[in-house]
Structure 1
Amino acid sequence: MRFTGALRSEFTKLTTTRMWWVLALILAVYVAFTAGALGAAFGGLFPGAQDAGGLDGLHELVYSVAVTVGYVFPVILGTLSVTGEVRHQTLTPTFLATPRRGTVLAAKLVTLFCFGIFYGVVALAASVAVGAPLLAAGDMVTGLDDSQTWLMFGRAVLAMGIWAIIGVGLGTLIPNQIAAIVVLLAFTQFVEPILRTVGMLVEGFAEIGRFLPGAAGDALVGSSVFAVMSGPSSAGLLEWWQGGLVLLAFAAVAAIIGAVTTWRRDVT
């Protein structure tokens, strides 16, 4: 089977299950709630402050929650796209139809990148649809007429696509579904936030913290709640293109290690 056939097969596998749209629905609700909470807080607590120059970039902060809190969903989708096949043994007919396993993995990476882009659009639509009216109601700048805001939207969508690739890499590296999800949630929800918090308090640690995947994602987008919370240390974020390269590096390392180890093992 050629690459186009493998690509079509991967798209079919995802779209014929409920997993992709259930995760997308939860993502939209979660992001809308978070953006709404921030938009209401900024609009109510600091009415007109941004127009007066007192607070800059709050609209970007509100919209960036699409990635700040939403990135875990494309990662989960990417991880499940691999571990689900291992668990349900659908890799066997896949490898019989496409003996070149590298072709299968490449098709899966491209497919999940596209789904990650879709998740990015969904998340941004939710954050803007809820956050922008609340900011406007509080006489805050929405930034929707600013080209820089739209550039941030593009980077946010790209970040979500890369996060989905990271999910595929993680699933390839840890094919056991339960183990992969536990590692994913433990790192994204506990380990990295703790490490980044330590970076705020321990001098010199922030330099290491900005190369963590979440920090790299924040740098790519250009704004995040965590970066604002970190105060002056947020100035230490990588440039957006550097953040993108670091994020891609994490995806590539996980996928390559998984491809040359667990992906080559026999399946039944």
Structure 2
Amino acid sequence: MIRLVRGEFRKLFTTKLWLWMLLGGIAMTAMFLGFTIAFDGAEGNPQPPLSTPEGQRNLFGSVSGAGVLALILGIIAVTGEFRHQTVTPTFLATPHRGRVVIGKLITYALAGIGYGAVVLAFAIGFAFVFTSARGIDLSLSADGVPEALAGVVAGIAVYTVLGVGVGALVRNQIAAIVGALVYLFVIEAFVAALPTIRDYYQYFPGGANAALTGTSQPGVELLSPWQGGLLLLAYGVVFATAGTRLAVRRDVS
């Protein structure tokens, strides 16, 4: 298994895709934080002030939005093998297909942790610079903020694993990526916004991730952080298991 994980890391760093995804995550984080800080205290803004622990949890929790790029990275890890027809020699080198997929899951879980840590480190530096300019004191030890920081990294890692699972299930790269983006930005947003079904949002991956990071959303009830973390982890395990089983059983040609 160690050999497989090393091989997957070599594949990951062979191209610059990981770097572009990381830079994209940093850019997305800067945009999220910039808007949050710029509109803090503005009239009509329903978000809590950044001077409160709740506001600071929301500020850092928004970093988890960069997880969408980690999800795409995980999808491409599998679908790229089929798109470029490298999956056959990969499975020939390691005939036990399940071990190949498990190797990818381990590799990209670790990559997701690294991705989340780097993006979060950037977010902390960015937030301190721009909140200080506005006279706002941030604290990384305020109520729930350390848990929110840990939740961001954990959530991004799980989203990367989800991506590997989705890629193994769908195989078609364009369909998998477009489907994932439609789900995240259309379906989940629709569920969170529609009053008649809003209460169910807490059980969706996005709602579980928001709960894990301690993020509050006006009008939306969320699970407790530990419940959200377990639910999000369960989604990751289910998709990873389903993707592994399907990769073992179906034809790769």
Compute the TM-score of the two structures, normalised by the length of structure 2. 0.91
Amino acid at match of 1:27: G
Are the structure 2 counterparts of residues 70 and 86 from structure 1 closer, same or farther at C-alpha, using a change threshold of 3 Å?
Answer: same
* Residue matched to 2:149: 153
The Cα shift of 1:77 comes to: 0.4
The Cα shift of 1:40 comes to: 2.5
Equivalent runs, 1:27-66 vs 2, <5 Å: 27-42=25-40, 55-66=52-63
Kindly indicate whether the alpha-carbon contact (under 8 Å) linking 2:5 and 2:103 is maintained by their aligned counterparts in 1: yes
How many Å separate the matches in 1 of 2:11 and 2:173?
Answer: 17
Secondary structure at 1:241 match in 2: helix
* Residue matched to 1:214: 206
How many Å separate the matches in 2 of 1:111 and 1:180?
Answer: 20
Gapped regions of structure 2 (runs ≥ 5) = none
Deviations 1:105-159 (A, max 9, x none): 1110011111111121122123222222222222323113447422321121011
Deviations 1:211-243 (A, max 9, x none): 0000000011111xxx33x33x3xx31111211
1:114 matched to 2:110: yes
How many Å separate the matches in 1 of 2:55 and 2:133?
Answer: 14
Query: How much identity, in percent, do the aligned residues show?
Result: 35
Are the structure 2 counterparts of residues 4 and 262 from structure 1 closer, same or farther at C-alpha, using a change threshold of 3 Å?
Answer: closer
Segment of structure 1 superposing worse, 104-113 or 126-135: 126-135
How many Å separate the matches in 1 of 2:8 and 2:53?
Answer: 43
Secondary structure at 1:222 match in 2: coil
The Cα shift of 1:254 comes to: 1.8
Of residues 12, 15, 20, the one that matches 1:14 is 12
Secondary structure at 2:171 match in 1: coil
* Residue matched to 2:161: 165
Deviations 1:20-64 (A, max 9, x none): 011101110121122022113227879xx665xxx5422222221
Kindly indicate whether the alpha-carbon contact (under 8 Å) linking 2:214 and 2:225 is maintained by their aligned counterparts in 1: yes
Amino acid at match of 2:60: Y
Compute the TM-score of the two structures, normalised by the length of structure 1. 0.86
Kindly indicate whether the alpha-carbon contact (under 8 Å) linking 1:217 and 1:244 is maintained by their aligned counterparts in 2: yes
Give the alignment's Cα RMSD to 1 decimal.
Answer: 2.0
1:184 matched to 2:184: no
Gapped regions of structure 1 (runs ≥ 5) = none
Of residues 232, 243, 252, the one that matches 1:258 is 243
* Residue matched to 1:246: 231
How many Å separate the matches in 1 of 2:140 and 2:250?
Answer: 50
Kindly indicate whether the alpha-carbon contact (under 8 Å) linking 1:43 and 1:135 is maintained by their aligned counterparts in 2: no
